[in-house]
Structure 1
Amino acid sequence: MNAAQWLLRESGLTSVHATGRDAALIILSRSCRMFAYGASALVLALFFAELGFSDAAIGLFMTLTLCGDVFLSLLLTQVADRVGRRRTLMVGSLLMVASGVVFGLCERYWVLLAAAVVGVISATGGDFGPFRAIEESVLAELTGPGTRPDVLSWYVTAASLGSSVGFEFSGRFVEALRRREGWSLLDAYHGCFWLYTIMGLVNIACVLGLSERCELKKRPPVGGEGVVAREEVQGLLERPGRDGRDDKVADKPRRSYFAQISRETLSVMSVLWFLLMVDSMADGMVYMSLTTYYLDQKFHLPKSALGDMMSAAYVLCTVTSVFAGPLARYIGLVNTMVFTHIPSSAAVLFFPFPSSVAATFGLLLVRVGLNNMDQAPRAALIAAVVKPEERTAVMGITTLLRTLASVTGPSVTGFLAANDRFWIAFVAAGALRLAYDLGLFAMFINIKLHKHEHEQVEPEDGMGGGLGRADEGEHTA
């Protein structure tokens, strides 16, 4: 194996290529969507301020938009496997386009609010809509245990890159439009939402290119026991009874459009959901917007310097996300989640203590640079412990619970900041994140993975640390 082949394999690009066109289209769709989310999030509050709306109205808009995105996501992810994943993604893309058109044309508060709540508008730059859970479920469907961490890692990496480019591009885009004759600042903000609409159209094009492989496959039970051919089942159902009547399916359960989650899955996921909510509440206490505000209050830095610091941190985040998949192959999913997240959590805990800008910036780089390395292994872990037909629904519920937990954080930080105790928010958030890390390690390090997988994927040579270690057809974390 030459150096180029080794690099392609270790970076995970070989896994992405082997997965096929569907995975590439989903990754492209996510990166374009996160570009749109970043571009709109930068100007959204400024757009409403330029329209003359109060801070309270802007805050209400942000809250209701987030709630709308979360519950729309929950609804669509619960029915996606029944009505079709591609159809559901198409509905989300159409709603994204519709919201972008409304924001590109309208300036009435209640119309904009309705478009944001019913449609898909990201108020924070995060992916809280219906797309992520479905896309992660599709990628889990397209991959096996050996390639899944790599593909999900590039899914996260593309998202980070899209967000950072969106934030950077939208600021320059607004300034460029303002310099054009006859363009006001408000017109420039409207222009950003037309970019949002264009990215929605790109999402539609990507969804149209997806194949039947993305849909949930009907699988026989593991081990093959109790498998009956479809024709045999039909014959049994239609075989005449002794009284000459057809014994049709009088007791056949009705088909539900909402996904059903088994008790076995709930017993595992309830623990993970609790831990993830703890982590999300901690993250909500120190959102990046709150972090930049703290830096501004403590060091009185120029806004350009704050922007440069955040940009550098997110570039590092994009780079490190590439290594999440390869690392998971060698040390396992849970180990990757825990051992990359602990330094980030510790950086949050110690963030308020340095008195110099340089040391504080160093902690910011550690925090943001390592913060996303657990995302791909987390999605792979969920895919490995739940049944394939439950993945979309479980990932949708996971997004809902994490988001609801995170919205409680800013209010706690606001109370502390109002009482000159802003620094306590970082200490508390860091401690909660560390508790999540240790709890995750204690509860999931020995859990059996892939026991619902029907096609065992042989790991490549050199894969170890959990994913490459077989144990009677199953793997441990």
Structure 2
Amino acid sequence: MLAVLRPFAWFYEEFGLVSIHQAGRNAYLTILARSCRMFAYGICSLILALFFAELNFSDTRIGLFMTLTLFGDVILGSLLTLVADRVGRRRILFFGSFLMVLSGMSFAVFENFWLLLFAAVIGVISATGGDFGPFRAIEESVLSQLTTPKTRADVLAWYVTMSSVGSAIGSEVCGRVIHALQTRYGWELVEIYHALFWVYSATGLVNAALMLFLTEACELSALDNNKAYSQVPQDDERASLELDAPESAGLTLSTGDNQSTNLPTSGRSSLTRTPFGIQRYWKSVGTWLSLISAPTLTVMYKLWFLLALDSIADGMVPYPLTNYYTDLKFHPSKSTLGDVQSVAYFLGAASSVFAGPLARKIGLINTMVFTHIPSSAAVLVFPLPGSLWMTVILLLVRAGLNNMDQAPRSAFIAAVVKPEERTAVMGITSTLRTLAAVTGPTITGLLAGHDRFWIAFVAAGAFRLAYDVGLYVMFVNMKLYQHERGSVVDGVEGREVVEDHEMTEMEDLASATESTVSEDSYKGSK
């Protein structure tokens, strides 16, 4: 019996399932909710551009729609993420699910371009098949809070993996439903697309229901309470805490000896004092940035620039436009397109499983770079093949390796920022990525209208490769986990967790050296 169970035990440990178990029920629910949401996005990624083409909208209008929808995601996502820690992360996630329901219902009923655009801008519709909007930044912040540096990459890897499975199932079901309703029952394509948007809306209801089962442990207040009651600062720590957290930026904690300590609260008290409207939004953005420490901003400015470059590329050739390009060039059946995209998503899901173990072996940055380069190269040469099967192979290479950098990227961001800064940093990251992706569909739409669709793929591939190279050059020697007590990582890229008693020595070393050191120099100094 032990011999039979040994492979399962090895898989359970090596591929990070034990990490999800340790994270608890909230992690399961968060991963399940995103899987359901990505099921709906998988439907959108296959039919959205085809739906507009069936309604005889021009290529320029299709590109404009996706651009303005992404711009709406920027505003909506940043606004909701700004107030998530104050209002409550679970409430914001529930509200986002409700907006998803409204958008799906609008697309299921209306055919007017401007009404659909309005519903997409103020609601939640996936214009690119990606997870933009308010969800992902908050969910990644929640998962980062529920995990430790040792388990975080594994949990985030499964978060990405299961989302890819959801997208794959959505695309496959969508393609099969279109084929069955069209051939067996004689439905018109527009009618089928409307019906599928009802499915999108129903998935939003399921997503909202799952949010009701999340517990208080998902909120930032749980982190504050943990600091307050299990890590009450000693006398020699109070001064530094008071310097790091001014009264205007946090809450005051009584330590029981007629003294008080200020704990950062990600700007919640400041947000409550700002007026409503645009002024409140920009003041909130300024407050948000001001509460992020200077060392964190130094790192994130470089990373945000690179991520913006990658997002511009993704915005130029998202999966809906890639499917549209393939349909224009080779005219395959919709079920074939659905099968291809489903297989692509399944490959992405399968490869994402290996992201966590690979990151433990070679490091977060190396995993991000060396798995993403082949995917970028596949985008670069995507227009070259003259046959459908070669084009499909390139699409499978692109999609199969495209997701392996997502979990390490989220783990990397969580590793270089303070715990109380994560929601803000991840929210800004999501906003900037979406904002950078805004211009992409419009550019591609204009190129498609002038029979230069292929240029978008070449440019996107070049941008993605520049992102990969820049990521390696700037961050391969970055030290991680310097802000998490009891779990500091030894050496560059952090591959081994050390115990609490080594914390002081490593913090002293970090303060006496530059923020990025090579593994050899660090071990030599130690």
TM-score by length of 1: 0.84
Distance 1:458 1:9, change over 3 A: farther
Aligned to 2:42: 38
Match of 2:173, SS?
helix
What residue ranges of structure 2 are gaps of 5+ in the alignment?
243-251, 261-267, 273-283, 499-504, 511-515, 520-526
> How far off is 1:63 after superposition?
3.0
- Segment drifting more, 26-35 vs 388-397: 388-397
1:467 equivalenced with 2:478 (yes/no): no
C-alpha distance in 2, partners of 1:82/1:142?
18
Q: Which amino acid aligns with 1:472?
A: M
Aligned to 2:157: 153
Kept in 2: contact 1:144–1:457 (CA 8 A): no
Aligned to 1:71: 75
Kept in 2: contact 1:39–1:166 (CA 8 A): yes
Aligned to 2:276: none
Distance 1:223 1:405, change over 3 A: same
Match of 1:118 among 84, 109, 122: 122
Aligned to 2:254: 231
Aligned to 1:454: 485
Aligned to 1:245: none
C-alpha distance in 2, partners of 1:422/1:139?
39
1:326 equivalenced with 2:388 (yes/no): no
Match of 2:32 among 25, 28, 34: 28
- Segment drifting more, 37-46 vs 293-302: 293-302
Aligned to 1:247: none
Match of 1:80 among 79, 84, 104: 84
Match of 1:445 among 476, 485, 496: 476
C-alpha distance in 2, partners of 1:117/1:5?
47
Q: Which amino acid aligns with 2:401?
A: L
- 1:318-359 deviations in whole A, cap 9, x for unaligned? 210111111111111111101111222233334444566555
C-alpha distance in 2, partners of 1:104/1:341?
36
Higher helix fraction (1 or 2) = 2
Alignment of 1:44-193 (within 5 A): 44-48=48-52, 58-106=62-110, 109-176=113-180, 186-193=190-197
Aligned to 1:248: none
Kept in 2: contact 1:331–1:464 (CA 8 A): no
> How far off is 1:114 after superposition?
3.0
Kept in 2: contact 1:331–1:466 (CA 8 A): no
C-alpha distance in 2, partners of 1:203/1:138?
16
Distance 1:456 1:292, change over 3 A: same
Q: Which amino acid aligns with 1:279?
A: D
- 1:162-188 deviations in whole A, cap 9, x for unaligned? 112112212333455568989765554
Q: How much identity, in percent, do the aligned residues show?
A: 61
> How far off is 1:43 after superposition?
3.5
Kept in 1: contact 2:109–2:194 (CA 8 A): yes
Q: Which amino acid aligns with 1:206?
A: L
Aligned to 2:247: none
Aligned to 2:271: 256
1:345 equivalenced with 2:345 (yes/no): no
Kept in 1: contact 2:70–2:435 (CA 8 A): no
- 1:216-252 deviations in whole A, cap 9, x for unaligned? 1113699861169933489458xxxxxxxxxxxxxxx
Q: How many residues align?
A: 459
C-alpha distance in 2, partners of 1:458/1:267?
20
For the aligned residue pairs, the C-alpha RMSD in angstroms reads 3.5
C-alpha distance in 1, partners of 2:462/2:200?
37
Distance 1:204 1:313, change over 3 A: closer
Distance 1:113 1:286, change over 3 A: closer
Distance 1:454 1:85, change over 3 A: farther
> How far off is 1:87 after superposition?
1.4
Aligned to 1:286: 317
Distance 1:351 1:267, change over 3 A: same
TM-score by length of 2: 0.77
Q: Which amino acid aligns with 1:384?
A: A
Kept in 1: contact 2:68–2:438 (CA 8 A): no
C-alpha distance in 2, partners of 1:373/1:234?
50
Alignment of 1:380-459 (within 5 A): 380-413=411-444, 422-456=453-487
> How far off is 1:89 after superposition?
1.0
Distance 1:347 1:145, change over 3 A: same
> How far off is 1:35 after superposition?
0.8
Distance 1:469 1:431, change over 3 A: farther
C-alpha distance in 1, partners of 2:110/2:459?
42
C-alpha distance in 1, partners of 2:174/2:9?
37
Kept in 2: contact 1:279–1:433 (CA 8 A): yes
- 1:405-435 deviations in whole A, cap 9, x for unaligned? 2233344445656666655544433332222
Q: Which amino acid aligns with 1:404?
A: L
> How far off is 1:294 after superposition?
4.9
Alignment of 1:3-22 (within 5 A): 3-22=7-26
Distance 1:302 1:386, change over 3 A: same
> How far off is 1:269 after superposition?
0.5
C-alpha distance in 1, partners of 2:188/2:327?
29
- 1:29-62 deviations in whole A, cap 9, x for unaligned? 0000111122234344455566676666555443
- Segment drifting more, 450-459 vs 396-405: 450-459
C-alpha distance in 1, partners of 2:347/2:269?
51
Kept in 2: contact 1:333–1:467 (CA 8 A): no
Match of 1:230, SS?
strand
C-alpha distance in 1, partners of 2:257/2:219?
24
> How far off is 1:12 after superposition?
1.4
Kept in 2: contact 1:222–1:452 (CA 8 A): no
